Amino acid sequence: MNRARAIEDPLAPFEPSPTEPWDAARAAHLARRAGFGTRPDEVRELVALGPRAAVDRLVDFADEDRELDAELAAKGGSLAELDNQNRIGERLGENTRAWWLYRMVRGRAPLQEKLCLFWHAHFACRESELLPPPLLLAQNRTFRRLAAARFGDVLAAVARDPAMLVFLDNRSNEKTRPNENWARELLELFTLGVGAYEQHDVVEVARVFTGWRLSPDGSAFAFAPEHHDDGDKRVLGERIAGRGGPEGEREGVELLARLARDPRTAERLAGKLARWFLADEPEPACVAALATELVARDFSVRETLRTLLCSRAFHAPDSRFALARTPVDLVVAAARTLEVQNAHLLGLERTTARMGMQLLRPPNVAGWKLGKHWIHPSAAAHRASFARELAALPHTTRSVDGRAALDLERLAAGLTEPRALARSLGERLFGVEPATDALDDFVSTLAPGASPHDVVRAALERWVGAADFALA
């Protein structure tokens, strides 16, 4: 019987016991889900904190990562030039992707970056000639600032976000020609979900948001009363009083708040959070409990995740390695766990694109698919290629500029015996000790007298490309 089904209250707190201890395996599981993997010393710190304090460490991140910002500025070049609004086109898009991936690899608040990615997938906007990277970069910073905020605050910010106004055409929504694109996706994808509304509601929501436009330079939100339909509307059976002049904007504010508090929105958001942090196919009881928690926590993503990450369902043994990693999660986890120097020079943005996930370019407004979508033969080939690229990186024990590199001696951790070294690397990558047969098989492939550096490179090529590393 599936253990998750046997848990009557899936969000009840996990309590360590002699048979279910708080140990390195559970701490590594937490780090994988609330971030992108972690180093052995960070796992040891989480173990020492205990389950509740470990979750608090990850969830209570600061809004700003000033150390990372200083590091990015010191790197210079493409990582420090993103605010030049005149640099448009493919190069700026690639630089923005590299900048964001670097933040994921090096940031002190991995959950903040993972939530930023979550919101990018939920409120998916795609780079194009009409929607250049500077607007998406500004949106990305909004997602980071509000990463763990109340859902209503995130929704209100997105409704006014210039990138979204362009992508779903609400900038051209006016009373004489209502545009329904934003209205439909607001109801179907961002809040209530399919089947919770009718076409009449789409028409009325479009009327509510007439006049929500861009400033003359296209960089900020502006409300244009002269383009707003000030008549009464009726959405989901409830009246919204029409307002004229600057007060017309309040119609949209009222509707957004109503949608953000709706129980159907809670259920939809809970399902997406569960698929992002718990399992590819979460138990309905877990999703229902998480939706109830969202409502009880006033839709605070931070407090809801705190409950989930502390829960019995999250720490159940069959919850481990129950998520298929997206390409972004996979490459960031590898670079972060292996402490790759100058990860921006590794071309991670090109690697994720080859794997089928290009940041700033989701396939459609519904975002990327999750779960088994990423498990296929082509994905295995790309993982193997990426693993070979990592294994071939130059070795250095010093901080270097101008190239991506690995400190093979740090990864070897002072070990010279091949089997012990392989076991240590397996624990670093997977958070658990590799199975005996996997170690036996790996050691049998090594050349006689293989040096520690050779063992490290062979292990990276074998295990980063393995199917097991594609699971978190």
pLDDT digits (tens, 9 = 90+) for 146-167: 999 999 999 999 999 999 999 9
pLDDT score recorded for residue 2: 42
pLDDT score recorded for residue 265: 98
**Which pLDDT band, with edges at 50, 70 and 90, does 3 fall under?**
very low
> Mind listing the pLDDT tens digit for each residue in 230-269?
999 999 999 999 999 999 999 999 999 999 999 999 999 9
- Scan for tokens 């995740």, then name that residue: 305
Alpha carbon of 32 to those of 40, 276, 429, 432: distances in Å? 12, 11, 10, 12
Among the ranges given (40-49, 77-86, 213-222, 445-454), the one the predictor scored with the smallest mean pLDDT:
77-86
Is the pLDDT score of 317 beyond 80? yes
Is the pLDDT score of 5 beyond 60? no
pLDDT score recorded for residue 4: 40
Q: Within 13 Å of residue 222, how many CA atoms lie on the same side as its CB? A: 11
**Which pLDDT band, with edges at 50, 70 and 90, does 83 fall under?**
low
Alpha carbon of 169 to those of 11, 120, 161: distances in Å? 40, 18, 12
> Mind listing the pLDDT tens digit for each residue in 387-442?
999 999 999 999 998 999 999 999 999 999 999 999 999 999 999 999 999 999 99
**Which pLDDT band, with edges at 50, 70 and 90, does 175 fall under?**
very high
Q: What is the mean pLDDT of residues 55-79?
A: 91
Q: How many residues does the chain have?
A: 472
**Which pLDDT band, with edges at 50, 70 and 90, does 91 fall under?**
confident
Is the pLDDT score of 90 beyond 90? no
Instruction: Provide the mean pLDDT of the chain.
Output: 94
Q: What is the mean pLDDT of residues 329-334?
A: 98
pLDDT score recorded for residue 37: 87
Q: What is the mean pLDDT of residues 305-317?
A: 97
Q: What is the mean pLDDT of residues 103-120?
A: 97
Closest C-alpha among 302, 303, 348 to residue 326? 348
Cα 265 to Cα 327: distance, rounded to the nearest angstrom: 28
Provide the whole-model pTM. 0.95
Show the tokens assigned to 283.
Answer: 């138990």
pLDDT score recorded for residue 84: 53
Among the ranges given (64-78, 297-311, 312-326), the one the predictor scored with the smallest mean pLDDT:
64-78
Cα 210 to Cα 252: distance, rounded to the nearest angstrom: 9
Q: Within 13 Å of residue 294, how many CA atoms lie on the same side as its CB? A: 28
Percent of the chain surpassing pLDDT 70: 97
Three-state SS for the chain is: CCHHHHCCCCCCECCCCCCCCCCHHHHHHHHHHCCCCCCHHHHHHHHHHCHHHHHHHHHCCCCCCHHHHHHHHHHCHHHHCCCCCCCCCHHHHHHHHHHHHHHHHHCCCHHHHHHHHHHHHHCCCCCCCCCCHHHHHHHHHHHHHCCCCEHHHHHHHHHCCHHHHHHCCHHHCECCECCCHHHHHHHHHHCCCCCCCCHHHHHHHHHHCCCEEECCCCCCEEECHHHCCCCCEEECCEEECCCCHHHHHHHHHHHHHHHHHCHHHHHHHHHHHHHHHCCCCCCHHHHHHHHHHHHHCCCEHHHHHHHHHCEHHHHCHHHCCCCECCHHHHHHHHHHHCCCECHHHHCHHHHHHHHCCCCCCCCCCCCCCCHHHHCCHHHHHHHHHHHHHHHCCCECCCCCCCCCEECHHHHHCCCCCHHHHHHHHHHHHHCCCCCHHHHHHHHHCCCCCCCHHHHHHHHHHHHCCCHHHHEC
